[in-house]
Amino acid sequence: MHQSPPSDSADAKSDGFVASWRVFQTTKLYDVLCAGPLILWYGSSAGRLMPALFEKLESTDINKIDIAFVLSVLAQTAGIALIVLALIFLLVRRPAKGKAKGVMPRLAAIAGTYLGVAVVWLPPHPMGLMLSFLSLTLILCGVAFAIFSLFHLGRSFSLMAEARRLVTDGPYSSIRHPLYLGEAISMFGLTLQYLSPLALGILVLQFAFQLLRMKNEENVLASLFPEYDSYRARTARLLPGVY
């Protein structure tokens, strides 16, 4: 009776494992497992903010509430909502169809994502009426635009440089990265609540990594969707007529 050489059997098992692993990488379970550290980071960051907000509400005399207090509470609540929203879309997104190759795109995505909420671990900065109003306005405008973008992006939301489907409607009809624009506006508003040289340094560094993420994501999309080059030619990266 003929038997396959041991090397052929080992090669077949290896090929089977590689094929199974590639299939597993397209599943939702794999996507959630890869996002696990980011899910914990977002969850712990939101969890850090909530007790402080509740304590602030419980310890305040209702008769001494003024407009500055209301604006401060609303600004903090909007900051929590931004983090929770990103967490929800991270959990419900589609598995990726393609992703950037190499280590640097992943490092840029991880740094941009983690630094995005890193300021909430800094000591809060006392805010007066004007700073509270400015922080609230920026966060609400940024969050509103981010939500608008997210609902058009839907389950194609990514944190790494990945592609799920090509979205060209809504804000994406004129801006290639409207979600990043909304995040940048809201992050600036959130940073005002922790205003310091370190907080501003984190904000600048985070935005630099976001620019790298945009470039990496565009390369992935261009490799998967033939129509992306024409889409890129007629849209702005962030600000129409500017950049």
pLDDT in tens, 99-144: 566 667 777 777 777 787 788 889 988 878 888 889 888 988 988 8
Q: Pick the more confident residue, 177 or 146.
A: 177
* pLDDT of res. 225: 87
**Calpha distance 139→189 (Å, rounded):** 5
Tens digits of residue pLDDT in 27-46: 667 666 766 777 777 778 77
- Determine the pLDDT at residue 181: 93
Integer Cα distance of 62 and 40 in angstroms: 35
Which residues, 6 or more positions from 201, have their beta carbon under 8 angstroms from its beta carbon? Answer: none
The mean pLDDT of 85-97, rounded to a whole number, is 62
Please tell me the predicted confidence (pLDDT) of residue 236. Answer: 96
- pLDDT, position 71: 77
Query: 207: pLDDT confidence band, cut at 50, 70 and 90?
Result: very high
Q: Tell whether the model's pLDDT for residue 154 goes beyond 70.
A: no
Q: Do residues 222 and 228 make contact, with C-beta atoms less than 8 angstroms apart? A: yes
Residue 198 confidence (pLDDT): 95
The average confidence (pLDDT) of the chain is 79
> Which of the four pLDDT bands, split at 50, 70 and 90, describes residue 172?
very high
pTM of the model: 0.69
* Mean pLDDT, residues 76-94 taken together: 71
pLDDT at 193 over 70: yes
- Region 205-224 average pLDDT: 88
Q: In this predicted structure, which of 40-54, 202-216, 221-235 has the lowest mean pLDDT?
A: 40-54
CB neighbours of 134 closer than 8 A, spacing ≥ 6?
A: 189, 192
